[in-house]
Chain A
Amino acid sequence: MKNILKTYALHKKFGLHSALKDLNITIPKSSVYAILGPNGSGKSTTLGILLKALRPSSGYFEWLDRKPKFNYLEKVGAMLEQPKFYMYLNAIDNLAIIAKIKRVSNNGIEESLKKVGLFNRRFDSLNTYSMGMIQRLGIAAAIFHSPDVLILDEPTNGLDPEGITDIRNLILNLSKDGLTIILASHLLSEVQMVSSHVCILKKGSCLYEGNISEFINSKENIFQLGSSNLDSLNVALVNFNKLNKIEKHKSGKYFIVHFNKDVFPDDISNYLAQKGVFLNHLVRQHSSLEDEFIEILKN
């Protein structure tokens, strides 16, 4: 049982428009799998199909390496878009309904409300909650029954910075416990920090699928280098044999320098010191997923 999910040529049409075209993805067990894509690329459609809200027009998927005839959703925690609740009920009642649907006890409810910081408001009707609090309750609803798989669609939508950090830490902690997490997002920086695998969607097709570290570190190391004497820094760098590319930053205060993969900061400062150039600015710039993402989308 290596894979949680494998899809075979999933296709979904809304009228004449194909929202998903022959999607083949494999989600390994215990991975944090991110589905990335701009608006309308088919992220929510994919999750909708996995969660049985939508039926694929053609193709099928296997859950735990078999056809999902059994009710696997009881072991899945899910939050799609804006989570929907019975607004006239309080948090406890809403989660109690979900507990009944999933045939689990109510034991995890209070614990999870504490985790998302809603414990003190648990007996208030949801009509009095703010949008961010509803979002937090959505997270609590997805995790309180300790699921095997967590499916989150834009989990940080509408949250304040503190909330975003909380969610990020929560995802990291849960994935340490061996939970498989499927995450849809257009916030690339978010995904980069938490996920292990990535799939990039554009107009319903998968453009890239694979390990995120391979994806990011495929090319080179990039540094921001600055010195009080930029000209001599430039001259010294041009002679460095593992240099790929050098360009001045828009601000004119430092260079953005692309080195080979095996170059580290101490190599650079050591080399420059020998040349008599001293740095006042050295920042390692991760080749961000965002750049790669935009690059892939362009092609």
Chain B
Amino acid sequence: MTRLLYIEWIKWRRFRPFQILICLYTILFFLICFGLDDIILDKVIGDLTMGNYSSSIILEEYNPYKFPFAWHTFAFIGKFFKILLAILIINIISYEYQNGTFKQNIIQGLKRGEYLFGKFMLVFLLSTYSTLLVCIAAIIGGLSYSTVSEINFYENSYYLFLSFLNTFTYLSLSVTMGVIFRNTMTAFVILMLLWFPGDMLWLFIIPENFNMYRPFEVIDELLPFTVHQTSVWKLITVSICYQFFYWMVSYFKMKKDLT
């Protein structure tokens, strides 16, 4: 396992798109989180100030940058940036196909399963990294906005896990797209089309009860804007099923001849 991880590390540490996208991801995320916090707060308050509450009370009680809301808030912001990681993953898979290094790896004795497991670990690490960023942002935001007496650190921290699942499911699908189309542009455009309008088209086919479990909807619902509309456990189970399905498709697609 460390062997496969080490292989991925040597392969990508000097890969320009890897360096650029990871930096971009990190910088943009923190920039949006803490550069635009005033705008975000205004927006949230605007959405919530509908009853008789005055905005100052809401800011006091429900400030999204305070614990325990901070976990949810930053996970929610973070989920929009996973597209950058998806581009990176698709780029990596396409590079290995188009440059012939995937075939070369197989010839040199790497099993196809090992190769895919390497990519699995890469996706796992990238998802962990994105979760880590969310965690750091939440801690910074939470600590700076909450007063010491009201800090309830662990409540809602399961949003970190949901954030991980959100990114991981999405990146698993990106790997499958890369394996099927073997070209960054094609794979990315198809991924986007599957998202919109693809995810809408399901509505015509599946019964209404299952709307929540459409491929992209379930990823999205893991981190909703307000509160979960279905049981979180159901969402988690379904998204893990999707992950399993994506990796199986990639595996069988990889079994094919390499000419």
Question: Do B101 and A88 touch across chains, with their CB atoms under 8 A apart?
Answer: no
**A101 CB within 8 Å of chain B:** yes
Residue contact B7 to A100, C-beta cutoff 8 Å: yes
In whole angstroms, what is the CA distance A156 to B99 when docked?
A: 21
A87 / chain B contacts, CB cutoff of 8 Å: 99
Q: Does B108 contact A73, Cβ atoms closer than 8 Å?
A: yes
In the complex, which of the residues B100, B109, B257, B259 contacts A74, with contact meaning CB atoms closer than 8 Å? B109
Nearest CB to that of B257 among chain A residues?
A54
Interface size on A, residues (CB 8 A): 30
Known: A51-B107, A86-B11, A89-B10. A100 touches B3 (CB 8 A): yes
Q: Does B54 make an interface contact (CB < 8 A)?
A: no
Contact A86 B107 (CB under 8 A): no
Q: Are A84 and B259 in contact (CB under 8 A)?
A: no
Is the beta-carbon distance between B107 and A53 smaller than 8 angstroms?
Answer: yes
Bound form: Cα–Cα A93–B257 in Å: 27
Contact A52–B101 (Cβ < 8 Å):
no
Bound CA span A87–B49, Å = 56
Answer whether residue A222 sits at the interface, using C-beta atoms and an 8 A cutoff.
no
**A93 CB contacts on chain B under 8 angstroms:** 10, 14
Q: B104 interface residue, CB < 8 Å from A?
A: yes
A85 within 8 A of B: yes
Inter-chain contact total with CB atoms closer than 8 Å: 70
The answer to whether the Cβ of B6 comes within 8 Å of any Cβ in the partner chain is yes
Among B89-108, those with CB < 8 Å from A are 99-101, 103-108
Q: Which of B104, B110, B258 contacts A54 (CB 8 A)?
A: B258
Of A51, A82, A85, the contact of B106 (CB 8 Å cutoff) = A51
Given known pairs A89-B14, A93-B10, A96-B10, the reply for A101 and B110 (CB within 8 Å) is yes
Whether, in the assembled complex, A71 has its beta carbon less than 8 Å from a beta carbon of chain B, the answer is yes
Contact of A48 among B11, B105, B259 (CB under 8 A): B259
A64 within 8 A of B: no
CA distance A297 to B190 in the complex (A): 49
Chain B positions within 8 Å of A85 at CB level: 101, 104
* Residues of B contacting A55 in the complex (Cβ-Cβ under 8 angstroms): 257
B99, B106, B257: residue with the most chain A Cβ atoms closer than 10 Å = B257
Selected contact of A100 from candidates B10, B15, B104, B111, CB within 8 Å? B10
Cα A71 to Cα B110 with chains together (Å) = 9
Q: Mark B6-18, 1 if CB is under 8 A from A, else 0.
A: 1100110011100
Query: Taking the complex as formed, is A219 at the interface, i.e. its CB lies under 8 A from any CB of chain B?
Result: no
A143 to B100, CA, bound (A): 20
Tell me if A84 and B108 are in contact (CB < 8 A).
no
Bound Cα distance from A87 to B108, whole angstroms: 17
CB distance from B120 to the nearest CB of A (A): 17
Q: Are A88 and B104 in contact (CB under 8 A)?
A: no
Would you call A97 an interface residue if the criterion is a C-beta within 8 Å of the partner chain's C-beta atoms? yes
| Contacting pair B108 A88 (CB below 8 A) | no
Q: Are A73's CB and B107's CB within 8 A?
A: yes
Q: How far is the CA of A96 from the CA of B108 in the complex (A)?
A: 12
Residues facing A in B204-229 (CB within 8 A) are: none
Residues of B within 8 A of A86 (CB): 11, 15, 99, 101
A256, B100: Cα distance in complex, Å: 49
With A and B bound together, what is the CA distance between A43 and B15 in angstroms? 34
Instruction: Knowing A71-B109, A102-B109 are in contact, say whether A97-B257 is a contact too (CB < 8 A).
Output: no
Q: Indicate with 1 or 0, residue by residue over B186-199, a CB within 8 angstroms of chain A CB atoms.
A: 00000000000000
Residues in B103-159 with C-beta less than 8 Å from chain A: 103-111
What is the distance, in angstroms, from A135's C-beta to the closest C-beta of chain B?
14
Question: Taking the complex as formed, is A5 at the interface, i.e. its CB lies under 8 A from any CB of chain B?
Answer: no
Least distance between B233 CB and chain A CB atoms (Å): 40
Answer yes or no: A103 CB below 8 A from chain B CBs. Answer: yes
Residue of B nearest to A45 (CB): B259
Contacts of B104 in A (CB 8 A): 80, 83-85
Residue of B with least CB distance to A98:
B108
Is B7 within 8 A of A53, CB to CB?
no
Cα-based distance from A39 to B17 in the complex (angstroms): 38
Instruction: Give CA–CA (A102, B105) in the complex, Å.
Output: 10
CA–CA, A84 to B101, complex, Å? 6
| Residue A78 interfacial (CB < 8 Å) | yes
* Other A-B pairs beyond A73-B109, A89-B11, A89-B14, 7, CB < 8 Å: A48-B257, A51-B106, A52-B107, A53-B106, A54-B258, A73-B107, A86-B15
